Amino acid sequence: MLAPLAGITDLPFRTLVSRFGAGLVVSEMIASGEFLTARPGTREKAELGAQIENTSVQIAGREPDAMAEAARMVADMGARLIDINMGCPAKKVTGGWSGSALMQVPDHALRLIEAVVNAVDLPVTLKTRLGWNDEARNAPDLARRAEGAGVRMVVIHGRTRCQFYKGSADWAAIRDVRDAVDIPVVANGDIIDADTARLALKQSGADGVMIGRGAQGAPWVLAQVAADLYGAPPPDIPKGDDLISMVSEHYESMLDFYGPTLGNRVARKHLGWYMDHVQTPPELRTALLTERDTTKVLRLIPEALSAQAQAVA
């Protein structure tokens, strides 16, 4: 499964990952309050791709009524699955008592979960961390209560909120959640390839894995893990001209989605990750990532990726 990553798992990237093969892709987080007041740009994130079969739309918030209404609106847009975010560690999210901050107030967190589950006929899932800090690792209890409220699956990032992304994910600690519930449990955090996925599954006892940062610059990695672990058809990993064609198409899809100016800015991080895989010379990398003319970017992509394109393997 592809993890929700703000500013990364937009529709163009989810579409690309799905093309290679993915069990589930999760949208960027939709803040329920902003979504309901239709702040420019927020509504479009949910509208575009919500109805795609293997897509889950993630919502976040702190008020039960707003979360319920956002869930209903997403369902009306054709969503097949709704995920509740109680794992985001960002200060701008937790400062408003959303995301992982809700793990500090489990009774209120449960009210939000119940509001969403009761608002829609769709399957509802939950994503959390192990807890707010090491002294309050309450993910097993919250998962158990969420299951009782009707949540159909939980995803656990193997860190506390106070760890942010420091240190290593504690996959073994996820086993306490696996033992607490009967619904599927998915392990998340530091899973980047088949070896780490296999180890995470062994230590956690989880039913599946969710990959986030490991897919940056490698949209085929989910399919590769599925092939290595479960015997799914292996992806055709692009090299040489095929890699150049894939990256160029991804870039153009971002221009179409966001418009030329914003699309070019958003694309830079993806182009940087692609170049990380092929060891693009520094001066060429800088030229590509600072160019504002989209036609020139498209001309630079083949040069930047052909320097050592075969290194992608």
Please indicate if the annotation marks 127 as binding a ligand.
Answer: yes
**217, 276 contact by CB (below 8 A):** yes
Please indicate if the annotation marks 277 as binding a ligand.
Answer: no
Please indicate if the annotation marks 152 as binding a ligand.
Answer: no
Query: Which residues in 59-91 are b (16+ Cβ under 10 Å) and which e?
Result: bbbbbbebbbbbbebbbeeebbbbbbbbbbbee
Alpha carbon distances (Å) from 207 to 39, 125, 152, 187 = 37, 14, 13, 8
Positions annotated as catalytic residues are 88
**257, 10 contact by CB (below 8 A):** yes
**117, 131 contact by CB (below 8 A):** no
Please indicate if the annotation marks 270 as binding a ligand.
Answer: no
Q: Give the position of tokens 């990952």.
A: 17
In angstroms, the first-to-last Cα distance of the chain is 22
φ, ψ for residue 56, nearest 5 deg: -110, 135
Q: Is the dihedral of CA 130, 133, 137, 142 positive or negative?
A: negative
DSSP 8-state assignment for residue 15: H
Please indicate if the annotation marks 250 as binding a ligand.
Answer: no
- Give the DSSP H or E segment for 264: helix 260-278
Q: Please enumerate, by residue number, every residue annotated as part of a binding site for FMN.
A: 58, 127, 157, 212-213
Q: Please enumerate, by residue number, every residue annotated as part of a binding site.
A: 58, 127, 157, 212-213
